[in-house]
Structure formats: C-alpha cells, structure tokens
Structure 1
Amino acid sequence: METMPLNEIRKNKIETYFNKIDSGTFDDEYFGLYTEDVEMYYPKFGFEKGKQGIKNFGKVIGKHLEKLTHDMQNFRYIFSDPIIVVEGNEKGITRSGKEWPDYTTSFGKFCNVFEFDGELIKRVHIYVDPDFTSEDTERLTIFRNESQSVIENPVPQTKDVVEEFYDIQFGRKEGNIMNLFADDVDWDLPGNEEKFPWTGKRQTKQEIGQFFQELHNNVTSESFNIDFISVKGENATVVGQLSSKILKYNKVFSTEFVVIFKVVDGKIVKYHFLEDSYALNEEMN
C-alpha cells in the first residue's frame, strides 16, 4: 500500500481544522489535531499554550461570533517544512447579527501559519483583523484618511508590485506584466546565453518582453515556491525554490533562487535573478 506524502497528510489535517471550526464541532478529532504543548496566537487575544489554551480561545471567540465560514476551495497553501501557510478569505455573522465582510472597510482576508511536529500541529498563529465588522471607528478614520484629501492614484508600494509581478506571471491575476516595469531596467539573469537564450542582461521593456517570450518557448514551470519576501524601502528580496522543465533537453532542473527587486515610483527598475546557473549548464547536455 502506497504511503501518503507527509505534506498531503498535513494539508488534510488543516482542512479538518477549518471544517471543524466552520461547523463548530470541537470534538476529540479536533483536539487530536494538536500536540499537547501546542502554541496559538490571535491578534488582541495574545498567546495560549496547550489544548486547554485552545479551548480557552474557543470560548472567547464563540461569545463574539455566531457563524464563521472559510472559502476553502480558494485557499492558497505555501509549504516550507515543517510550516504550512494558508492564505484565504472568510465570512461570518457576529452574535449581534452583523454580517461581514462588507467589502468596503472589511474584506475577510486572513492568514494562518501552521507549524507541525510530524503529523500534529504544534503551533498555529492566526493573522486577521479581529474587528470583523469595522466598528473601530478611530482606526478607520486614520487609515481611510478622512481628514485629508483622498489620493486618487496612490503609488503602489514595493511589496505590492512584487506580489503583483508573481500573480500575473503565474496566472493568479489578469494584467500586462510589462506595465510593472520602468522604461529603463537593470535586468540580469546570469547563465550560458548560447544554451539558454532567456538568460543574460537586458535594459529595455522590449528586451524584457523578449525574455518572457523566450522563457515561454523554452521552459515549463513544474513548481515555484516562495519562502519569503523581505522588503526595505525601494528594495525587495525574494527567496524560494523552483523546478523547471527545459524543453530542449527534456530534463527538469531544480534549484534554490534569490531575486533582487528595486521599485521606484511603483515601477520595477531592477531585477536580478540568481540561481545555480553552473548546475543548470552542467545538467543540460
């Protein structure tokens, strides 16, 4: 009998976690998802330890929410052993009868970070705005900037531009990826340009457009996983792992990668992609 991969087992545990929460079924199977020393975190609530801590949090949140539903079909999973990050949308009804999100000031976005010990959850940190129905008017006033003139066309921030780059590249969002670039770009993807025509330095939008065409004609992505995005002002660094099928050689190449972005006035002015180009050259024969 074939053994189920560990990540698939863990993903099933996460799905059970959300199904139990949505149905309000906190039984032995639910508490069996956790290690005895499980740690949980929730904004404004803070930290709890152990299964009793999970129960304590459940009592608190249960007094506030009548119903909670997660859009599990559209979850986005990021795997980085032993951590699985889940990003998605949720909606619900408070005990006072208010439905959320309203998609005006609340949007139902959340992110859960699960850390596993074997097949059991040893840490779950939940990142969500606990002000589900946007009743914190003081903060709303600050963030919506009601006391100042509204900025009609705000300049996208560095991380927003980088995330949009990958969303468009991998089909999660419609758009023209070339619109994210400035007219002049410091572009570099080191490699053997004779064997791999998508590598090399580029400077103009036209040359970058040729890159994406060369990439499409020569490479099929098998997997592309981002471990983290680090942002400091105009600069961003993206770290992850990828596997790509090089069509000419009918071989799959896997490598860790680092991408260096610089974003000025909402446009990418620098893109340096660093991978194990030596191994790529050696393996493709």
Structure 2
Amino acid sequence: MNRDTRDVVTEFLGRLAEGDHERTAEMFAEPFDWRLSWPVEGHPAVPWIRPRSARADVADHFRSLEAHHVPELNGTSVSRILVDGEDAVVLGEIAQTVRAGGTAYTSPFALHLTVTDGRITRYHIYEDSLTVARALSVQP
C-alpha cells in the first residue's frame, strides 16, 4: 500500500514526539538525503550535527539530541504542514532546554521531507543554528 505523504509525515512527527528513535528511523528509506542547516563540519557543542546515511544513523541522531536536552522540557511545536505530492514542509518552533547548564532556547524551523513509496527519502531541516550553538556552548 502506498501511503499518503501527509499520513507518513504525521506518523513520523508522532514517533518523534514519543521519543521512539528506533521506530522513527524505520520510516526512512535507504539511502536517503540528509541535510541540516549547519556547516558540514558541524560545531563542537552539537555533536549530533554530522552526515547521516543509514537508519541506524537516524536513531543515533535523535538519541544524541535527547541526551543533550531535557526531554520533559521540550516545547517544540508544529504550526503548519504543507504537502505537495511527495514533498512536505513542516513549519514550527523548536523549544529546548540544554541538559548541561539548563539553558533554554527557541528557534523557528522548517523541515523539508520527501516521501517515496511510504518511506522518507529526504530530511532537510533549517533552524537558527547560531542560537542552538550558543545555548549548547554555555558552560555550567
């Protein structure tokens, strides 16, 4: 059964919200196109920012994000999901608190997903990387 793009995106967001990293990673095709709005080399304060190419990498990405933040204080919200064929854009605001030091930050985000044959084949996220890096760089 070929699932609708909106259904796949909605399920993906639900799995993310539940913190089920393995089940979230299962939604990705292999290979997939992965990009974060950071320089390729990332930033030392944000070790999860690196190239990804396999489902295990996806699970690792979300586990690392969780390890550096306080999940109970996550206030990330989605304001809109736009769908055009296989492509979807999720708009919202990231609201996180850094585990080491307790610095809270917010950043608008746009997530571009492509869904092909019921699997995510593109994950491109755009956020205020300077705000994130500054929050993670604060020493406790």
Of stretches 247-256 and 262-271 in structure 1, the one that deviates more from structure 2 is 247-256
Which SS does the other structure have where 2:83 is aligned?
Answer: strand
Supply the distance in 1 between the matched residues of 2:15 and 2:134 (Cα, whole angstroms): 31
Is residue 190–residue 200 contact of structure 1 (8 Å, CA) maintained in 2? no
**Higher-RCO chain (CA-CA 8 Å, sequence separation at least 6):** 2
In structure 1, give the amino acid aligned to 2:128.
D
| In the alignment, structure 1 residue 251 sits paired with structure 2 residue 103 | yes
**Aligned twin of 1:39:** none
Which SS does the other structure have where 1:274 is aligned?
Answer: strand
Which residues in structure 2 correspond to 1:93-108 (within 5 Å)?
Answer: none
Supply the distance in 2 between the matched residues of 1:249 and 1:231 (Cα, whole angstroms): 38
| In the alignment, structure 1 residue 212 sits paired with structure 2 residue 75 | no
Supply the distance in 2 between the matched residues of 1:260 and 1:269 (Cα, whole angstroms): 10
Regions of 4+ moved over 4 Å: none
Q: 1:206 to 1:193 in 2, by over 3 A?
A: farther
Which SS does the other structure have where 2:110 is aligned?
Answer: strand
User: Higher strand share goes to which structure?
Assistant: 1
Supply the distance in 2 between the matched residues of 1:210 and 1:235 (Cα, whole angstroms): 24
| In the alignment, structure 1 residue 262 sits paired with structure 2 residue 109 | no
Q: 1:193 to 1:210 in 2, by over 3 A?
A: farther
**Aligned twin of 1:55:** none
Deviation, 1:193, is: 3.4
Supply the distance in 2 between the matched residues of 1:180 and 1:201 (Cα, whole angstroms): 18
In structure 2, give the amino acid aligned to 1:265.
D
TM-score by length of 1: 0.43
Which residues in structure 2 correspond to 1:148-187 (within 5 Å)?
Answer: 154-171=1-18, 176-187=23-34
Supply the distance in 1 between the matched residues of 2:55 and 2:70 (Cα, whole angstroms): 23
Q: 1:246 to 1:261 in 2, by over 3 A?
A: same
Deviation, 1:282, is: 2.9
Please tell me whether Structure 1 or Structure 2 has the larger radius of gyration of its CA atoms: 1
Which SS does the other structure have where 2:53 is aligned?
Answer: strand
